[in-house]
């Protein structure tokens, strides 16, 4: 099974700077400003397959508009296409949000190191996500479920500002029905229709049976959320190398050449975006 993880790496195309054409197969509205796009490669064949591991990202482009780094939210085991959840934040993402089924985008990648699957096999997993930070975790969760016997107990803690801001609602419900998978959600603001937990992500510790023994914690979200979660996990007794998180930086080239995403001696696009807390401690002004 560990050999299987080793195969989830990128097979390089001839020009790493040349976007590949992809067509939109499906668009699903997650929230008012987040959509999930299912993409298909127009030029894919056996000689140039697109392979990746959970936690990697791609650079998505619109002609005459620009490109932006987007985390892959589908599992490598998903055969229905490549899925990206994109939050409308500016000119480029706004243009992508106007796209519909059959429209074309450009895509480069995958880039980054991805989650260390080899270290996760046989371990209990605690996955903590905030807002759109659930997108890269979704890729890992779907992969874990597809290879369920290779992992231990899975706990998913997820929070958003309001109930309307929760993404992947159908997935959250489906994951919670899986064997040895516990999903707990929370929102920061009350609403008339919300009957679940209210409060920050860290308020869910008392609702989940979390033990640092044989557990790897994976966190994705706004840096402020990550800081609070890491602080609490350290107090619980988690080892610094058992806390894994993604870092947000402005990534442009994807291969460590432009320097936009440098943190000290590291490039987020090459050495990350996934780091252990032990690695982050050595980096300047991260958490």
Tell me whether residue 176 is in a domain. Answer: yes
Of 171-180, 264-273, 278-287, the range with the highest mean pLDDT is 171-180
Tell me whether residue 149 is in a domain. Answer: yes
| pLDDT reported for residue 88 | 95
Looking at 93, 111, 129, the residue that finishes a domain is 111
**32 and 95 both lie in a single domain:** yes
* 55 CB neighbour count, 10 Å cutoff: 26
DSSP letter for each residue of 37-89: EEEEESS--TTS-----TT-EEEEEETTTEEEEEEB-S-TT--S-EEEEEE--
**240 and 134 both lie in a single domain:** yes
- Report whether 93 contacts 132 (CB < 8 A): no
**72, burial (CB in 10 Å: exposed 0-12, middle 13-18, buried 19+):** buried
d(CA 124, CA 183): 14
| pLDDT reported for residue 148 | 94
Tell me whether residue 282 is in a domain. Answer: no
Q: What domain count does the chain have?
A: 2
Asked which of 47-56, 68-77, 161-170, 203-212 is least confident by mean pLDDT, the reply is: 47-56
| pLDDT reported for residue 86 | 97
In this predicted structure, the answer to whether residue 4 has a pLDDT above a threshold of 80 is no
**124 and 227 both lie in a single domain:** yes
| pLDDT reported for residue 43 | 64
User: How much is the pTM?
Assistant: 0.91
pLDDT averaged over every residue in the chain: 89
CATH number at residue 102: 2.40.30.10
Summarize pLDDT for 191-234 with one digit per residue, the tens.
777 888 999 999 999 999 899 999 999 999 988 899 999 999 99
**123 and 234 both lie in a single domain:** yes
| pLDDT reported for residue 2 | 53
**137 and 78 both lie in a single domain:** no
Going by pLDDT thresholds of 50, 70 and 90, the confidence category of residue 44 is low
**84 and 157 both lie in a single domain:** no
Going by pLDDT thresholds of 50, 70 and 90, the confidence category of residue 190 is confident
123 backbone dihedrals φ, ψ, rounded to 5°: -105, 155
Summarize pLDDT for 72-105 with one digit per residue, the tens.
999 999 999 999 999 999 999 999 999 999 999 9
Tell me whether residue 126 is in a domain. Answer: yes
Question: E-strand spans in the chain?
Answer: 20-29, 34-41, 57-62, 66-71, 82-87, 104-111, 124-130, 154-160, 181-187, 197-198, 215-220, 243-246, 262-263, 266-267, 274-276
CATH number at residue 157: 3.40.50.80
Domain that holds residue 152: 117-246
């Amino acid at each position: 099974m560990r050999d299987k993880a080793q195969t989830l790496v990128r097979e390089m195309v001839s020009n790493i700077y040349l976007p590949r054409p992809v067509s939109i197969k499906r668009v699903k509205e997650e929230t008012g400003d987040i959509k999930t796009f299912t993409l298909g490669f127009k030029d894919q064949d056996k000689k140039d397959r697109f392979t990746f591991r959970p936690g990697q990202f791609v650079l998505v482009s619109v002609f005459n508009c620009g490109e932006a780094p987007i985390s892959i939210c589908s599992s490598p085991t998903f055969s229905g296409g490549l899925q990206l959840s994109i939050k409308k934040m500016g000119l480029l993402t706004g243009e992508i949000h106007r796209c519909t089924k059959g429209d074309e985008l450009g895509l480069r990648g995958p880039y980054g190191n991805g989650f260390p699957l080899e270290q996760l096999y046989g371990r209990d997993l605690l996955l903590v996500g905030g807002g759109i930070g659930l997108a890269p975790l979704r890729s890992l969760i779907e992969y874990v479920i597809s290879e369920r016997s290779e992992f231990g107990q899975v706990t998913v803690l997820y929070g958003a500002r309001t109930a309307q801001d929760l993404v992947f609602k159908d997935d959250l419900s489906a994951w919670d029905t899986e064997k040895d998978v516990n999903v707990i959600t929370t929102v920061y603001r009350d609403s008339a229709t919300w009957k679940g937990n209210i409060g920050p992500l860290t308020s869910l510790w008392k609702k989940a049976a979390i033990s640092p023994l044989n557990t790897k914690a994976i966190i994705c979200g706004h840096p402020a959320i990550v800081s609070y979660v890491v602080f609490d996990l350290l107090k619980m007794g988690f080892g610094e190398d058992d806390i894994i998180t993604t870092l947000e930086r402005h990534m442009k080239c994807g291969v460590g050449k432009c320097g936009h995403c440098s943190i000290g001696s590291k490039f987020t696009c090459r050495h990350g975006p996934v780091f252990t807390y032990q690695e982050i401690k050595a980096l300047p002004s991260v958490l």
